[in-house]
Amino acid sequence: MTSWARLAGVCMSAKPQSQTMTVDSPARSAIAAMLAWVLPGLGHWYLGHKQRAIIFFVTTSVTFWAGVAIGGVRSTITPRDNGPWIAAQLCVGPQSLVALYWSENLAEQAIRDAGPGQKPTKYRASWPASNISVVYAGVAGLLNLLVIIDALARSNAPVGGEEARGPPGSGQERRGTHST
């Protein structure tokens, strides 16, 4: 390659400082991780990876609520019955808290409906749906945990250029790419 071509390549790849955002701050990472927990994909949206954000949101949310629909909220989100799975389910974020509140509310309603001195009938899914539904909701939470870790990893990379950069840790990250 001639020296002129090499120089042209260097000029083409050089970007004005204003077009790149190489903010490497713990605050940005913390915000991205927190947003990723609050709403699946929101952390990636904050970092500029909008298409990936939409995919993460749809996949995680549909998986979680599909699990709740399969087994019913009362047998899917129950800390007393499902043990450690609730820790995985809570990784989905406030959606799981809404489902937990709904489940507890239905249980209290069953106690009220039973009347004083009467033991309420404990809700059980009509088939082993609770096993499958708990796994669905738990896997959704664990997938969001992966999404949160990915948001943390990407928060130290330049904003934008998601089509051009490789996944974190691949050694294919390219800095100074254009913003999408």
Partner 1 sequence: MNLLALFENDIPIRGFMRLGLLAPLALSIAITYKTIHCQRLRDIPVASLTLCASILAGMMSIGVGLLLVFRLLA
162 binds partner 1 (CB under 8 A): yes
Residue 37 backbone dihedrals phi, psi, to 5 degrees: -80, -40
92 binds partner 1 (CB under 8 A): no
60 binds partner 1 (CB under 8 A): yes
Judge whether 144 and 59 are in contact, CB under 8 Å. Answer: no
Nearest 5°: the CA angle 92, 180, 49 is 10
100 binds partner 1 (CB under 8 A): no
30 binds partner 1 (CB under 8 A): no
Neighbours of 52 (CB within 10 A): 18
Inter-CA distances, 50 with 5, 96, 116, 149, Å: 35, 23, 53, 17
133 binds partner 1 (CB under 8 A): yes
Binding positions for partner 1, rule: CB under 8 A: 51-52, 55-56, 59-60, 62-63, 65-66, 68-75, 102, 106, 125-127, 129-130, 132-133, 135-136, 139-140, 143, 146-147, 150, 162-163, 165-167, 170, 172
